[in-house]
């Protein structure tokens, strides 16, 4: 079973994504800020990270960079969950080391495709 870490501060969004992914037979863990994500990664190495970019404490870009800098975690694929279809968030996410991005509102079947192609 593939393990996914969701980093997302919006509770409903986190819950919704978790539920949907669990029903697709993924094992899902979730945290609500960037620092907690780094703490989690100290203990566990998931197969992929879904990361909201608009996070409190440590934002998505900073978190991404930290994940990439760490020898232990730098190969974990990251999909950025970005907010604006029109903004340069995507570009920034890729520059910060994300492998792919999904624009909110999430197109779920496409997200599954993305997860599968990266894991």
By CB under 8 A, name the binding residues for other proteins. Answer: 10, 12-13, 15-17, 19-20, 23, 54, 83-87, 91, 94-95, 100, 104-106, 108, 113-114, 117
Contact (CB, 8 A) for 79 and 115 = yes
* 38 vs 82, beta carbon nearer other proteins: 82
In 3D space, the residue among 41, 43, 99, 50 whose CA is nearest the CA of residue 73 turns out to be 41
**Whole-number Å distance between alpha carbons of 74 and 71:** 6
* 38 vs 80, beta carbon nearer other proteins: 80
DSSP 98: -
Please state the closest distance from residue 99 (CB atom) to other proteins, in A.
Answer: 8
* 52 vs 58, beta carbon nearer other proteins: 52
């Amino acid at each position: 079973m593939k393990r996914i870490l969701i980093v997302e501060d919006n509770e409903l969004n986190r819950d919704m994504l978790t539920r949907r992914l669990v029903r697709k037979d993924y094992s899902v863990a979730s945290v609500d800020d960037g620092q907690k994500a780094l703490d989690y990664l100290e203990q566990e190495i998931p197969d992929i990270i879904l990361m909201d970019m608009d996070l409190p404490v440590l934002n998505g870009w900073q978190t991404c960079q930290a994940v990439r800098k760490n020898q232990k975690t730098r190969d974990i694929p990251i999909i950025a969950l970005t907010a604006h279809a029109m903004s340069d968030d995507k570009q920034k996410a890729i520059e910060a080391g994300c492998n792919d991005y999904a624009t909110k509102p999430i197109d779920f079947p496409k997200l599954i495709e993305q997860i599968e192609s990266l894991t």
